């Protein structure tokens, strides 16, 4: 009987942890900020897009199961920084 009282909470704990991990794995937590960043990027508002992407990246770093999504956001942030640097350098030339 004592064995049942010890195993039951541990089993419930592992089920909750696995369910939470599966839920975060299926739907990225920063998806709303990512979509907002895409809209800003397509509109030409690169600074706002970087802010939205970085917010999504901070939220994704809280969870371990979103490596591909984190890599995609990091690549977009690097690309946007390069675009902003290029635009700033061409303004000084003209």
Domains and CATH numbers, the chain: 16-93 (1.20.58)
Mean pLDDT of 76-84: 95
DSSP state of 29: T
In tens, the pLDDT along 2-33 reads: 777 888 888 888 888 887 767 665 566 678 88
Gap between the Cα atoms of 65 and 72, Å rounded:
14
Percent of the chain with pLDDT over 70: 84
Residue 69, Cβ neighbours under 10 Å: how many?
18
User: Any residues with CB less than 8 A from the CB of 39 and at least 6 apart, and which?
Assistant: none
In tens, the pLDDT along 45-58 reads: 999 999 999 999 88
Gap between the Cα atoms of 94 and 89, Å rounded:
9
């Amino acid at each position: 009987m004592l064995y049942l009282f010890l195993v039951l909470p541990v089993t419930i704990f592992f089920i909750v942890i696995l369910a939470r991990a599966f839920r975060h794995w299926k739907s990225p937590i920063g998806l709303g900020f990512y979509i907002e960043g895409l809209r800003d990027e397509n509109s030409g508002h690169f600074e706002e897009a970087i802010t939205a992407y970085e917010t999504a990246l901070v939220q994704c770093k809280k969870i371990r199961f979103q490596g591909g999504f984190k890599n995609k956001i990091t690549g977009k942030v690097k690309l946007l920084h390069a675009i902003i640097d290029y635009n700033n350098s061409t303004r000084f030339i003209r």
